[in-house]
Amino acid sequence: MIYFMLFLLITGGCIILALRKKRAFFLTIPFLSLFIYFIVQIAIVPVPFFETVKFIFSLK
């Protein structure tokens, strides 16, 4: 739940910054933070990184 609230704060802050500064760059920050979060969560798994990624993408 704490990660969800953190992502909401990051997203809200970036939207406000993007509207105030009129720069679209700030809208990419929430996507980057989610991508980094997923990479960290995959790296936590005690199996080698690429095997974990192959397993995740082989699920149907």
Q: Divide the 60 residues of the chain into consecutive groups of 10 and give the mean pLDDT of each group.
A: 89 94 91 90 85 84
d(CA 38, CA 31): 11
26: DSSP letter: G
Q: Report pLDDT for 1.
A: 83
**The total number of structural domains that make up the chain:** 1
Per the structure, the complete domain to which residue 12 belongs is given by: 2-58
Q: Report pLDDT for 59.
A: 80
List the Cα angle 45/47/51 in 5-degree steps: 110
Dig out the tokens for 35 from the structure.
């991508």
25: DSSP letter: G
pTM: 0.69
